[in-house]
Chains A and B, each alone.
Chain A
Amino acid sequence: MKQLLALSLGILTAIGGFVDIGDFVASSQAGARFGMSLAWVLVVGVVGICAYAEMAGRVTAISERAVFDLVRERLGPRVALLNLAATFLVTVITLGAEMGGVALAVELATSVHYLLWVPVVGFALWVVLWRLKFQHLERIFSLAGLALVVFVVALTHLNPDWSGMWRQASRPTPADGEDWPTYGYFAVALFASALTPYEVFFFSSGAVEDKWGRDQISTMRANVLIGFPVGGLLSLGIMATAATLFHPLRIELDSVGQAILPVAIGLGKLGLVAAILGLFAATFGAAMETGLSAAYTVAQYFGWQWGKLVAPRQAARFHTLLLVSVLTGVLLLLTTVDPVRLTEFMLVFSAVILPLTYLPILVVANDHEYLGERVNGPVANTVGTVFLLVIVVAAVAAVPLMIATGMGG
């Protein structure tokens, strides 16, 4: 019974933790502009994150080492240093975007301008990371993120045209009046939102600290293989509400307030409260994960002490990195850059660096020295290799598409 409870808690956490500001922005924008015709990208992205998170979890459980820790051994110090620089940069931008999402959620609840909330959010985030009780908090925020299920509930109240949505989803072509490059740009952003690199770094570093072993592999698989797909359903729900309400009217979304409007229309005030709470929890949880991931990657490259098991004074470099990352995120937002715009940028640059994250995982997951007989089987390798090709295509296409379409126009 206790095991069942732990298992379901893990799965629920994975579901709630799946959606962050990137998924929220990419799904709602894609739904408004293209209806459900980009839904297949979400499905593909979820299969990809499942395959690679399973590999990363297995590598960590058996070698007792976090993923980024192994990158330097396998790529060499020079390539790994360039990888680190790119990853750190994108992760800090992601952190800024997530904190922007938190501030926007608070603005929706209080009507006080989000820029005034940014320093408060930054301070609260840092306190949580400093006091290091984040493991429980991270779980609580992930569970509260489940409130985003209101999007799925609201969808059923909006009397959607189910057969029309199915028609859009089964014909993956641009909607009327849209062109292929714009379609491609949104496809890349949506793909990146499902595979954001910080997710695997956080996942595997957490597994090291929780001292996972071989026994935890089956639990990890259940969490990943059930939790992420159901989490993907939440993203699909967000896309479908936007597709139902905004797509027929040809309204383009450029704010978070618009994106939660379908819930208010479908379910009224209480639904709105749940949507704001869900958005707040999902982005705050993701902000903790990205802040930590930024510091993890640097510490793991140089071999510095990191993590929550020691006092901050024993991991001064790690804690300074955390502090600097949060501060950089705050300063980034205080330039008054639009958080939604920042999220779009973050998704494009995440797409560019995806191969740097996922190629080393595939390589190490095939290494007998680290994994013994638990190396990838034929299924994992086929899925992993096909995905790596898709990831490389997305990475190469990301910047040209961004420029050609003026960030989706």
Chain B
Amino acid sequence: MFIGFHLLDRQIIDCDGLLVGKVDDVELSDGDPPEVAALLMGPQVLGERMGGRLGRVLARLAHRLHAAVDPGPARIPYRDVAVRVSAVHLRISYRDLPRPALEGWLCDHVIERIPGAGRAGE
């Protein structure tokens, strides 16, 4: 498997088919040859991986969105990956992962306050 071509930037989908995020970066193990230990998510990791001015701007922007303490990137151990096809499917639910800062803030301060926020479409 070429990590760059078959894993990075793929969509991550949880066990219920909900969208979790993208494989913004990966964590490699120390072994030889190194193996993928975990998937990393979040705009900050993405910005750091991209590098350059654009990447720095993205990383700084993402850093500012965190409340008091920076929780670090969302990390999904590779053993939680069930299948890897055109997307990466997880064994676990998105509820088992930390809630992304931006999603949490927008949900609590904007979307939840509008009537009908709990109703799914059809």
Contact = CB atoms under 8 A, between A and B. Distances in A.
Given A65-B87, A130-B116, A309 B121 contact: yes
A311 B18 contact: no
B9 interface: yes
B118 A78 contact: no
B21 A304 contact: yes
Interface in B89-122: 100, 102-104, 106-107, 110-112, 114, 116-122
Given A77-B49, A78-B52, A310 B9 contact: no
B103 A63 contact: no
A397 interface: no
A133 B43 contact: no
A76 interface: yes
Interface string B54-72: 1100100000000000000
Contact of B119 (A63, A304, A306, A311): A311
Contacts of B9: 72-73, 76-77, 80
Given A133-B122, A310-B120, A311-B120, A304 B87 contact: no
Contact of B111 (A63, A81, A303, A319): A319
Interface string A234-257: 000000000000000000000000
Contact of A304 (B58, B86, B103): B103
Nearest to B47: A77
A302 interface: yes
A312 B111 CA distance: 7
Contacts of B114: 130, 312
Interface in A348-390: 369-370
Interface in B23-65: 24, 41, 43, 46, 49-50, 52, 54-55, 58
A319 B116 CA distance: 12
A252 B36 CA distance: 64
A35 to B, nearest CB: 46
B19 A305 contact: yes
A152 B58 CA distance: 51
A311 B117 CA distance: 6
Contact of B102 (A311, A312, A317): A317
A274 B48 CA distance: 55
Given A130-B114, A314-B18, A319-B111, A78 B43 contact: no
Interface in A121-160: 130-135
A319 to B, nearest CB: 5
Contacts of B102: 317
Contacts of B100: 317
B106 A133 contact: no
B118 A311 contact: yes
B113 to A, nearest CB: 10
A308 B86 CA distance: 22
Interface string A19-32: 00000000000000
A69 interface: yes
A316 interface: yes
Given A303-B12, A316-B107, A316-B111, A310 B18 contact: yes
Contact of A313 (B18, B107, B121, B122): B107
Given A303-B19, A317-B102, A308 B121 contact: yes
B50 A133 contact: no
A331 B22 CA distance: 32
Contacts of B24: 77
Nearest to B43: A302
A64 interface: yes
Contacts of B75: none
Interface in A48-97: 63-65, 69, 72-73, 76-78, 80-82
A311 to B, nearest CB: 5
A170 B8 CA distance: 51
A65 B86 contact: yes
Contacts of A313: 107, 111-112, 117-118
A306 B21 CA distance: 11
11 contacts: A69-B11, A77-B50, A131-B116, A131-B119, A132-B121, A310-B18, A312-B111, A316-B104, A316-B110, A320-B111, A369-B86
Interface of A: 63-65, 69, 72-73, 76-78, 80-82, 130-135, 302-306, 308-314, 316-317, 319-320, 323, 369-370
Given A76-B9, A77-B24, A312-B119, 10 more contacts: A64-B87, A69-B11, A78-B54, A133-B122, A303-B12, A311-B119, A313-B107, A316-B107, A316-B110, A323-B110
